[in-house]
Chain A
């Protein structure tokens, strides 16, 4: 921050009209406009999904689409419950509704039959995505450190080979994996999905992290080893703290992949290990075109990534302090 400020200050004092160092205020304005336009364009679908999630089902399919409407919690109620249709007489005979959702459901001549599968599916997604991210980043960091610091025979070929696991589209390898998983009893298990996502992500993690670790001078570890630490201790106390930026960035990429993955999940999971992405579209089939429920599921689905990214923002933006080594 401060170097940028001082540069602009000097630049301005030297030349008031045009500066070679600083972009002109006009091009800055153009850049800002482009960024805002791009942000709006990408945000519109998200905003629309959120708005749909708080519409009532009739409002959600009205044409022309409603911009102004009375917010309704029905989508969220439908997302978390299963309902059965009843006669108005039966509903009238019931005692007072317990809670908002009960009341909203009864207005549609239905009663809540029980919780939906959304929460367990969402939990599957959390376990599988965070678990595989943890494994991929952990293994990736160790492998990247190895590739970066030791003479690994055929290192270049190995790195290429690792990357090649990502060259085929998932659908091309899905059938062999499906057959393999059936043999191994890994079909429709959280462990199976975690291993699969780890395998896919570890290649990305190794490549990304190798770049970050290559940037950390070896002298740090050597200094630590001379100071009396073992290589593993030096790795933990000196390399890891300096690789946090890289690790955070890698973790976010891995998490986003594992969280959003649809193809493998829909082919390999159907029951107990199903993740949220293949589950959310199935909501639509339960009792009419329930767009608010789908939108509610999608909105909730976005939250963990958002929170994770915001939590790691500091690490991502901090940048690596090379100050102590470089002149």
Chain B
């Protein structure tokens, strides 16, 4: 097992830049999720780490060794493809044993290791079946088997659950994480699904248009988004943005939004007058009759244990996650308050977060709501 260190990685296809200046490190045994919408360069990044694509610039180190321009076969990595890529002309046993055959492992040893792997993944009963008749989940397990049988330095997975149906995906998310807990292989897992990433990863890198917008633990990414893009991409429903115009001095602890004075974590930099956006997670919104921040009920979604209530305010629509025990009439006027120590402040034009006490780890790692 080994650490993956990617520095200033860049990939251009002609004039189009698919990955620009990516740098991140996956520590030994860590599970990194590369998260972003379709087309943002996740697969390209992964393929460069695997050696299937040559970078235009930057370096890739696996376990300290510079492998930037090495062939895929010389890198000691395993790759699980989006489409599984099981060899259709071989049965399950031969598919799993195929990488060992390349290394010249003796037949008896191959047999033993294939069977061990199959037991680990609970597919020992289908070892002698052809792969073409297998169900999606079993194919996925065979693909995983082929990856882990070699005990490579690291695993790269490109949306391995993308083609499974939602119900089964949840099962596989748990299985994959359990597998990781057992074998502790350094893993880079590509997905566009924030729930998968949050559920499985030790670290998440959020990508957008070839740029890594934020790199951190799931909690950091959720609680302290580095940009409005990240805040909007993570969480369901996403973070509310209340737009207002103001300038704030360093050390400010509140801002004036309309008629209301809204408290927030202490600002750590002077903010020139301009358009700002206050970021509020729906679970940090509460209704309070007396609050000067007013709005009217716009709609609600019942989710069983709680409900998402949408309120129309001067600063735009605000969604609140509230207990489901009270129902609201559309148009009903309400006052809003926010959990002040959890608020983010962004510069609306650049989308970047304004540094505040929130970013100083003052926050303890609480369990997320929702």
| A contact set with B: CB distance below 8 Å | 217, 219-220, 222-230, 233, 238, 241-242, 321-327
Q: Is the CB of B83 within 8 A of A219?
A: yes
Chain B residues with CB under 8 Å of A326's CB are 83
14 A-B residue pairs with CB within 8 Å = A223-B81, A226-B52, A226-B77, A227-B99, A227-B102, A228-B103, A229-B73, A229-B102, A323-B131, A323-B132, A324-B84, A324-B86, A324-B134, A327-B136
Q: Is the CB of B88 within 8 A of A321?
A: yes
Binary CB contact string for chain B from 56 to 84 against chain A (1 if under 8 A, 0 otherwise): 00000000000000011101011101011
Chain A residues with CB under 8 Å of B89's CB are 241-242, 321
Q: A222-B72, A226-B73, A227-B150 are in contact. Are A324 and B81 (CB under 8 A)?
A: no
Chain A residues with CB under 8 Å of B83's CB are 217, 219, 325-326
Binary CB contact string for chain B from 121 to 137 against chain A (1 if under 8 A, 0 otherwise): 00000000001111010
Q: Is the CB of A219 within 8 A of B85?
A: yes
Determine how close the nearest CB of chain A comes to the CB of B306; give it in whole angstroms. Answer: 35
Chain B residues with CB under 8 Å of A226's CB are 50-52, 72-73, 75, 77-79
Chain B residues with CB under 8 Å of A322's CB are 88
Compute how far the CA of A122 lies from the CA of B178 in the bound complex, rounded to whole angstroms.
68
Determine how close the nearest CB of chain A comes to the CB of B166; give it in whole angstroms. Answer: 14
Determine how close the nearest CB of chain A comes to the CB of B326; give it in whole angstroms. Answer: 44
Interface centre among B75, B78, B79, B146 (most CB of A within 10 A): B79
Q: Which residues of chain B (77-122) have a CB below 8 Å from chain A?
A: 77-79, 81, 83-89, 98-99, 102-103
Compute how far the CA of A325 lies from the CA of B88 in the bound complex, rounded to whole angstroms.
8
Q: Is B38 an interface residue (CB 8 A)?
A: no
Chain A residues with CB under 8 Å of B51's CB are 226
Q: Is B291 an interface residue (CB 8 A)?
A: no
Determine how close the nearest CB of chain A comes to the CB of B60; give it in whole angstroms. Answer: 15
Q: Is B181 an interface residue (CB 8 A)?
A: no
Q: Is B139 an interface residue (CB 8 A)?
A: yes
Please pick, from A220, A222, A327, the residue contacting B163 in the complex, using a CB distance under 8 A: A327
Chain A residues with CB under 8 Å of B134's CB are 324
Please pick, from B81, B84, B88, the residue contacting A222 in the complex, using a CB distance under 8 A: B81
Compute how far the CA of A226 lies from the CA of B98 in the bound complex, rounded to whole angstroms.
11
Q: Is the CB of B85 within 8 A of A223?
A: yes
Chain B residues with CB under 8 Å of A229's CB are 73, 102
Compute how far the CA of A177 lies from the CA of B136 in the bound complex, rounded to whole angstroms.
57
Compute how far the CA of A324 lies from the CA of B133 in the bound complex, rounded to whole angstroms.
8
Residue of A nearest to B85 (CB): A219
Among all A-B residue pairs, the 6 with the closest Cβ atoms: A323-B132, A228-B102, A227-B99, A219-B85, A324-B86, A324-B88
Determine how close the nearest CB of chain A comes to the CB of B57; give it in whole angstroms. Answer: 20
Determine how close the nearest CB of chain B comes to the CB of A241; give it in whole angstroms. Answer: 4
Q: Is the CB of A228 within 8 A of B85?
A: no
Compute how far the CA of A253 lies from the CA of B78 in the bound complex, rounded to whole angstroms.
41
Compute how far the CA of A327 lies from the CA of B165 in the bound complex, rounded to whole angstroms.
11
Q: A224-B98, A225-B72, A228-B99 are in contact. Are A324 and B78 (CB under 8 A)?
A: no
Compute how far the CA of A223 lies from the CA of B51 in the bound complex, rounded to whole angstroms.
11
Q: A219-B83, A238-B87 are in contact. Are A228 and B52 (CB under 8 A)?
A: no
Chain A residues with CB under 8 Å of B50's CB are 222, 226
Please pick, from A220, A222, A241, A321, the residue contacting B52 in the complex, using a CB distance under 8 A: A222
Determine how close the nearest CB of chain A comes to the CB of B128; give it in whole angstroms. Answer: 15
Q: Is the CB of A324 within 8 A of B87?
A: yes
Compute how far the CA of A42 lies from the CA of B52 in the bound complex, rounded to whole angstroms.
52
Determine how close the nearest CB of chain A comes to the CB of B52; give it in whole angstroms. Answer: 5
Chain B residues with CB under 8 Å of A219's CB are 81, 83, 85
Compute how far the CA of A228 lies from the CA of B150 in the bound complex, rounded to whole angstroms.
10
Q: Is the CB of A220 within 8 A of B77?
A: no
Q: Is the CB of A242 within 8 A of B52?
A: no
Residue of B nearest to A242 (CB): B89
Determine how close the nearest CB of chain B comes to the CB of A230; give it in whole angstroms. Answer: 6
Chain A residues with CB under 8 Å of B84's CB are 324-325
Please pick, from B52, B81, B103, B136, the residue contacting A225 in the complex, using a CB distance under 8 A: B52
Known: A223-B87, A228-B73, A233-B102. 6 other contacts (CB 8 A): A217-B85, A220-B85, A222-B79, A223-B146, A227-B99, A229-B102
Chain B residues with CB under 8 Å of A222's CB are 50, 52, 72, 79, 81, 85
Compute how far the CA of A233 lies from the CA of B75 in the bound complex, rounded to whole angstroms.
17
Determine how close the nearest CB of chain A comes to the CB of B13; give it in whole angstroms. Answer: 11
Chain A residues with CB under 8 Å of B150's CB are 227-228
Interface centre among A226, A242, A321 (most CB of B within 10 A): A226
Determine how close the nearest CB of chain A comes to the CB of B100; give it in whole angstroms. Answer: 9
Compute how far the CA of A242 lies from the CA of B90 in the bound complex, rounded to whole angstroms.
10
Residue of A nearest to B165 (CB): A327
Q: A220-B87, A222-B81 are in contact. Are A324 and B73 (CB under 8 A)?
A: no
Determine how close the nearest CB of chain B comes to the CB of A80; give it in whole angstroms. Answer: 44
Compute how far the CA of A224 lies from the CA of B81 in the bound complex, rounded to whole angstroms.
12
Chain B residues with CB under 8 Å of A225's CB are 52, 71-73
Compute how far the CA of A326 lies from the CA of B131 in the bound complex, rounded to whole angstroms.
12
Q: Is the CB of B133 within 8 A of A323?
A: yes
Residue of A nearest to B99 (CB): A227
Compute how far the CA of A258 lies from the CA of B81 in the bound complex, rounded to whole angstroms.
43
Chain A residues with CB under 8 Å of B72's CB are 222, 225-226
Chain B residues with CB under 8 Å of A241's CB are 89
Interface centre among B83, B131, B134 (most CB of A within 10 A): B83
Compute how far the CA of A290 lies from the CA of B84 in the bound complex, rounded to whole angstroms.
65
Compute how far the CA of A71 lies from the CA of B133 in the bound complex, rounded to whole angstroms.
54
Interface centre among A222, A238, A321 (most CB of B within 10 A): A222
Interface centre among A224, A321, A324 (most CB of B within 10 A): A324
